[in-house]
Structure 1
Amino acid sequence: MKARAFDPAVASGVAVRCSRGNPAVITCRSIRDNKPFPTAFWLTCPWLVHLCGRLESEGAIELLERDVKSNQPSWVSYHMRAARLRILSISPMERRFLHRFRKGEWRSLSLGGVGGIRYQGGGGAKCLHLQVAYWLAVGFHPAEELLERMVRPLECEAPSKWGCQ
């Protein structure tokens, strides 16, 4: 899967930096253009974006989807936590407004887990970039052991090759 184009307007901060101080994962606003934005964390490290793309082309998502099926309760819990995190990133006043006047947007925020994945029925993996960004930002993942084996090294050895300093 090709990584989606990043819109800088959704950035709200840096969640994770590499050892050289460059942003590796950024936080995103839960609302963009008055609509729910499904991604709380965005992978920005050029090396990790490249690595995840390569791993996806080699079948990484299929491995994660197998883990979803064999470890469904953990994945559902993970997606539910992601939905709560996105909701809590919105001000109480905005939450009340959405809940009362924009029920569709509220439902989208409250029922969409990591990357907006619906967690009813077990959820899913969607894309490796997304899963790695969440894993690095929150510090846990239902398929953490699998990610630790697959996504290595977590930092590039030649920053200048990837446009980093």
Structure 2
Amino acid sequence: MNTATETVSDDDLRVLAEQLGREPRGVVGIAARCVCGRPTVARTAPRLPDGTPFPTVFYLTHPGAVAAASTLEANGVMKEMTARLETDEELAAAYRKAHEHYLAQREAIGHVDEIDGISAGGMPTRVKCLHVLFAHALAAGPGVNPLGDEALALARDTWRPDRCTC
């Protein structure tokens, strides 16, 4: 199901362009794939080819997953999750670990001073983007990003990583 690859084929780049509606930028690998083999999450360099710092190492590309994350965002899930981070110390600690994991994954690709210590999606203190949390959870696997795992579970009626909707 989640077969990450460090190589990116011409077909992967074609599919990513189709999914995004534009040419993909800075892709260094495919971090998660649909069960049919098409990209679901692109692994992106921390500095784009034009020199722009880019903190989002795991970029959600699958249209069904993007739509599911957008629906959850529109339904106020981010606000609820952020509120829980303020009161649930165990959740906050696990989310901080997810932030550290995200930073380590990006640092393994390359260091960019301008975004040092900055992950994505609002980590480690708030939830700003469920697309990032979906992507991180799909790339890292269960148990790494608790709110990403939770968001994926909330979306199961509309999109699931174990069912192809390509």
Same fold, judged at TM 0.5 (above): yes
1:135: how far off?
Answer: 0.5
1:146: how far off?
Answer: 2.4
For each residue in 1:76-95, what CA deviation from the matched residue of structure 2 results, as whole angstroms up to 9, or x when unmatched?
A: 221122112211211xxxx4
Q: Which residue of 2 aligns with 1:142?
A: 146
Q: Which residue of 1 aligns with 2:46?
A: 30
1:50: how far off?
Answer: 0.8
Q: Which residue of 2 aligns with 1:66?
A: 83
Tell which structure's C-alpha radius of gyration is larger: 1
How much identity, in percent, do the aligned residues show?
25
CA distance in 1, matches of 2:149, 2:57: 22
Q: Which residue of 2 aligns with 1:110?
A: 116
1:43 aligns with 2:45: no
1:15 aligns with 2:31: yes
Residues 13, 26 of structure 1: 8 Å contact kept: yes
Between 12-21 and 150-159, report the one with greater CA deviation.
Answer: 150-159
Name the count of aligned residue pairs: 139
CA distance in 1, matches of 2:146, 2:162: 25
Match of 2:134 among 122, 132, 135: 132
Q: Which residue of 1 aligns with 2:106?
A: 86
CA distance in 2, matches of 1:6, 1:124: 29
1:62: how far off?
Answer: 1.5
Between 138-147 and 126-135, report the one with greater CA deviation.
Answer: 138-147
1:147: how far off?
Answer: 2.5
CA distance in 2, matches of 1:14, 1:23: 6
More helix by share: 1
CA distance in 2, matches of 1:52, 1:21: 21
Unaligned runs of 5+ in 1: 96-104
Unaligned runs of 5+ in 2: 1-19
What TM-score, normalized to structure 1? Answer: 0.72
1:154 aligns with 2:160: yes
